[in-house]
A and B are shown apart, each in its own frame.
Chain A
Amino acid sequence: MTEPTWAKVHYPKIDFQDQYYYSAPKSTSAPSSLDEVDPQLLETYKKLGIPLKEQELLAGVKSSQVAVDAVFDSVSVVTTFKAELKKAGVIFCSFSEAVREHPELVKKYLGSVVPQSDNYYAALNAAVFSDGSFVYVPPEGVRCPMELSTYFRINEKNTGQFERTLIIAERGAYVSYLEGCTAPTRDENQLHAAVVELVAMDEAEIKYSTVQNWYPGDKNGKGGIYNFVTKRGDCRGHHSRISWTQVETGSAITWKYPSCILRGDYSRGEFYSIAVSNGYQQVDSGTKMIHLGKNSSSRIISKGIAAGRSQNTYRGLVSAHRKATNVRNFTNCDSLLIGDKCGAHTVPYIEAKNSSAHFEHEATTSKISDDMLFYCRQRGLSSEEAVALVVNGFVRDVLQHLPMEFMAETQKLIGISLEGSVG
């Protein structure tokens, strides 16, 4: 296999022999609650704008419970709320535990959406992955009683992270899953090649949200995470539904295309994306909606914001199989440019192999005007607050699809990522 080179990203060749494929946190006995987690680690979370503590508080409120499975480097450290999930029959655990406790499920589904030969980085992941998250929601209308959430964090110097996530929603089940990623500052470029597989059976629904703020490198473009991720959902059953929501603000390079294979008749795929790039970040992201089932439908809303000297590309495929009649897609790609040294690009691939397909594509590119900035500043906003406000308005359509608990946090995160974008 060879490394993919078609994306609009540039980086020095990666020496795959020089990567660390496994590292464990120093305290090897897993703490049983958040209280036992090293306070310094919690402090890092806080500084990075992902307050685990706050989530714990949120989790205390009966109506909005959040279960957190924190993955520190490659070993899962904390898993909460297991008991309550167990009552509903939901399995939410680290991958290593799933292999031990539920081998029949892992064997049945692992690699069934993203086979090991899928692409270069998926193959790398399949070869070396050591942990990740596993979710199984049993059949006949089980609704997962809370938002499931996982944090991945690259902690050790020079380690890559190659985690794997597998989520299965059986007939009529519903689950909402949020993944947050953070990484502290490191000089070297770190490699992250994860694989996420989702399987939705008949009438099942999976909502997968990502908030990613890996270290993007310093202001000269040195360091930062290479985020080469394969995410794919399989709408295997009829009337199944998979929805991807992503907020990408970090990483030096983002290469990811959360996709839906719309295999079931009347299945539905959704992709909502906010990609913010600043400094020397490079983003090449988008989705694939592969319509195989009859009457399947999909919707893509992508908002790209480019500032500094960054390059922000939307790349997407919408295709209808010969036998997939009456399928529909609506795509909307908007780009916002801040300053005059960044770039926004849209590369849509649209393939309809039968004449009943109904595909729509809309795209706009705009700049934040000086008039608008002056107006905001006259009203007392600093230039950074003004940009954050305009950008948050721009991404509102997507923000609404994030779980409530994370909306405010995301708005702040977008503001932080764009700091220093207006001179």
Chain B
Amino acid sequence: MLEIKNLHVKLADEDKQILKGLTLSVPKGEVHAIMGPNGSGKSTLAYVLAGRDGYEVTEGDVLWNGESILDMEPDERAAKGVFLAFQYPMEIPGVAGLTFLRTAVNAVRKKRGQDEMTTPGFMKFVKEQAAKAQHRRRNAEAPSQCWVLGGEKKRSEILQMAMLEPTLCVLDETDSGLDIDALKIVSDGVNALRSPDRSTLVITHYQRLLNHIVPDKVHVLADGRIQKTGGKELALELEKSGYAEFTGKAA
């Protein structure tokens, strides 16, 4: 279970407060969505959870399974099961996607005290995970297009998520820049990963992603705080009324 308690975060080298007392919990097995206007602190929250440099936590705590993760290095958090799907995934020049994936999988396995995977074992695992995540698409109309070779960065991001077997998934505006078909594929991938021992936090601007990934709860983040929490219908309301109510309150 993820518990964020009264989290205050400022930029490390600037006197700018971004999160101002954010409190939120995501129990195991649940998918929560965070929606909010630009500049509300959504991406900051994602980065702070993953342990990126450049932010300073001035107050509050983040507990993952009862343990504070704020002092951990990013790779230690990854080993504890924290996965962040990036808004803009990186490509490392000269490193093939599969090489990267295998390096990551083995790094995490090593830290979790598991054996490193052999090449055949790894290839089998990739195929299984790719097939699982792609399940619905294949049944529908899909040309037999391989996930990995498809080259789409965001899809490979979801495949990485499946491969690293995280217990806390944070998706930072994964829907940005996706067309409807790609959106569906990514959502299917996320849905395939729903499980009773996994918490998922979906950060998004738009309601449309939540048609595909149906959340258990929706939180509205504005001005560095959760302003409102509701069921999936809250997303639909927001779609109609916009964020004016919350940003107005903030100002």
Q: A: which residues have CB within 8 A of B?
A: 370-372, 374-383, 385, 389-390, 392-397
Which chain A residues border B111 with CB–CB below 8 Å?
380
Cross-chain contact B93 with A382 (CB below 8 angstroms): no
Cross-chain contact B73 with A393 (CB below 8 angstroms): no
A399 vs B228: C-alpha distance when bound (angstroms): 55
Within 8 A of A (CB), among B65-107: 73-75, 77-79, 82-84, 86, 89-90, 92-95, 100, 103-104, 107
B185 within 8 A of A: no
Chain A: minimal CB distance from B83 (Å): 8
Cross-chain contact A395 with B94 (CB below 8 angstroms): yes
Cross-chain contact A390 with B92 (CB below 8 angstroms): yes
Cross-chain contact A372 with B92 (CB below 8 angstroms): yes
A169 vs B236: C-alpha distance when bound (angstroms): 77
Cross-chain contact B78 with A377 (CB below 8 angstroms): yes
Answer whether A376 and B108 are a contact pair too, CB < 8 Å, given A381-B103, A382-B75, A385-B103.
Answer: no
How many A-B pairs fall under 8 Å by CB? 71
Cross-chain contact B94 with A393 (CB below 8 angstroms): yes
A385 vs B106: C-alpha distance when bound (angstroms): 11
Q: Of B50, B107, B160, which contacts A381 at CB under 8 A?
A: B107
Which chain B residues border A395 with CB–CB below 8 Å?
94
Q: Of B53, B92, B108, B160, which contacts A374 at CB under 8 A?
A: B53
**In the complex, what residue of chain A is closest to B103 when comparing beta carbons?**
A389
Which chain B residues border A393 with CB–CB below 8 Å?
92-95
Chain B: minimal CB distance from A309 (Å): 22
Which chain A residues border B95 with CB–CB below 8 Å?
389-390, 392-393, 396
B52 within 8 A of A: yes
Chain B: minimal CB distance from A67 (Å): 29
Q: Of B53, B93, B100, which contacts A394 at CB under 8 A?
A: B93
Answer whether A380 and B107 are a contact pair too, CB < 8 Å, given A374-B52, A375-B86.
Answer: yes
Q: B: which residues have CB within 8 A of A?
A: 50-53, 73-75, 77-79, 82-84, 86, 89-90, 92-95, 100, 103-104, 107-108, 111, 160, 164
Q: Identify 13 new A-B residue pairs, CB closer than 8 A, beyond the known A375-B90, A378-B51.
A: A372-B90, A377-B75, A378-B75, A378-B86, A379-B78, A379-B104, A379-B107, A380-B78, A380-B107, A380-B164, A381-B103, A381-B104, A395-B94
**In the complex, what residue of chain A is closest to B111 when comparing beta carbons?**
A380
Which chain B residues border A381 with CB–CB below 8 Å?
75, 103-104, 107
Cross-chain contact B79 with A380 (CB below 8 angstroms): yes
A374 vs B172: C-alpha distance when bound (angstroms): 15
Most chain A CB neighbours (cut-off 10 Å) among B73, B84, B103: B103
**5 pairs across A/B with beta carbons < 8 Å?**
A371-B90, A372-B90, A374-B74, A376-B104, A378-B78
Q: Of A380, A392, A396, A397, which contacts B75 at CB under 8 A?
A: A380
Chain A: minimal CB distance from B171 (Å): 13
Which chain B residues border A371 with CB–CB below 8 Å?
90
3 nearest CB pairs, A to B: A393-B94, A380-B108, A393-B95
A129 vs B175: C-alpha distance when bound (angstroms): 67
A374 vs B100: C-alpha distance when bound (angstroms): 14
Chain B: minimal CB distance from A349 (Å): 28
A374 vs B73: C-alpha distance when bound (angstroms): 10
Cross-chain contact A389 with B100 (CB below 8 angstroms): yes
Chain A: minimal CB distance from B212 (Å): 24
Q: Of B52, B86, B93, B104, which contacts A380 at CB under 8 A?
A: B104
Chain A: minimal CB distance from B74 (Å): 4
Which chain A residues border B73 with CB–CB below 8 Å?
377, 382
Which chain B residues border A396 with CB–CB below 8 Å?
94-95
Most chain B CB neighbours (cut-off 10 Å) among A372, A374, A385, A390: A374
A180 vs B29: C-alpha distance when bound (angstroms): 55
